[in-house]
Amino acid sequence: MKNIIVIVNQKGGVGKTTTVLNLATALVQQNRKKVLVVDIDPQGNATTGAGIEKNGLKYSVYDVLINNLAVTDAIVKSPSCKFDILPSNRNLAGAEIELVDFKKREFKLKKALAEVSANYDVILIDCPPSLSLLTLNALSAANYILVPIQCEYYALEGLTDLLNTVRLMQSKLNPELEFLGILRTMYDKRNNLAIQVSAQLVEHFNEQVFYVSIPRAVRLAEAPSHGSTAVAIDPESAGAQSYLRLARELLKRLKEAE
């Protein structure tokens, strides 16, 4: 089953984690899907945003990657958003270096997720803002790639680098990796630059750009401080509504790609 989606952009602060958490909540709440979130960022923002105390974890993705812990022993349930999560914290920063000595180091996450992927309808992986060994593990494990983009001046430049990496990944590590789409985040329809960049994106990538875009919305930014998501706390808010629509568009795309 092809159900693993990596949310990736080496640029920081473009809305990767916000997208993973709200999309996951939307898929559970609206579409009754079984969802696993994989936090592979040492910042552990997805873990905290799912209402889990990252410094109090018994086990984390680190133990799975480095100590060969069974992935089911590390997975916990988000109390606020009802999806499962393979959590992370700063221990994972060391994994980058420790992994270097492993054989098949780019495939550690893939191997781990193979144990549980059949238990879920969708698995979403949240990446750190770098093209590191952790990100390579995520790209090796995934079937599909989703790229959140903030429509600003440097966005397209970063996208070219990322697409080159993806092409390299496809030829070396994961020939089955498919592009699911580009998501415009924090999109301000009244900002001229945003409109221009968005138009360029659509011109270059056509229907690979998700029809739904995510507006800049206070609720989306506030929710993590409550250990939850806008979709869970305030599903009627503009930000939550856009992620609920995105969940529908994503399921449609997955179906078409099957």
Residue 97 to residue 198: CA distance in whole angstroms: 38
* Interface with ligand ATP, residue 25, by CB under 6 A: no
Number of residues that bind ligand ATP (CB under 6 A): 20
* Interface with ligand ATP, residue 37, by CB under 6 A: no
CA nearest neighbour of 85 among 38, 24, 29, 132: 38
CA nearest neighbour of 109 among 1, 4, 20, 34: 4
Q: Which does 87 bind (CB under 5 to 8 A by kind): ligand ATP, Mg ion, none?
A: none
* Interface with Mg ion, residue 18, by CB under 5 A: no
What residues between 167 and 186 interact with ligand ATP by CB under 6 A?
185-186
The single residue among 194, 220, 244, 250 that binds ligand ATP, judged by CB under 6 A, is 220
The single residue among 61, 64, 217, 240 that binds ligand ATP, judged by CB under 6 A, is 217
Of the candidate spans 43-51, 63-71, 171-179, 237-245, the one that interacts with Mg ion by CB under 5 A turns out to be 43-51
* Interface with ligand ATP, residue 16, by CB under 6 A: yes
Instruction: Give CA 138 to chain center in angstroms.
Output: 10
What residues between 97 and 156 interact with ligand ATP by CB under 6 A?
129
* Interface with ligand ATP, residue 3, by CB under 6 A: no
Which residues of this chain interact with Mg ion, rule CB under 5 A?
Answer: 16-17, 45
Residue ranges binding ligand ATP (CB under 6 A): 12-18, 41, 43, 45, 129, 185-186, 214, 216-217, 220-221, 224, 239
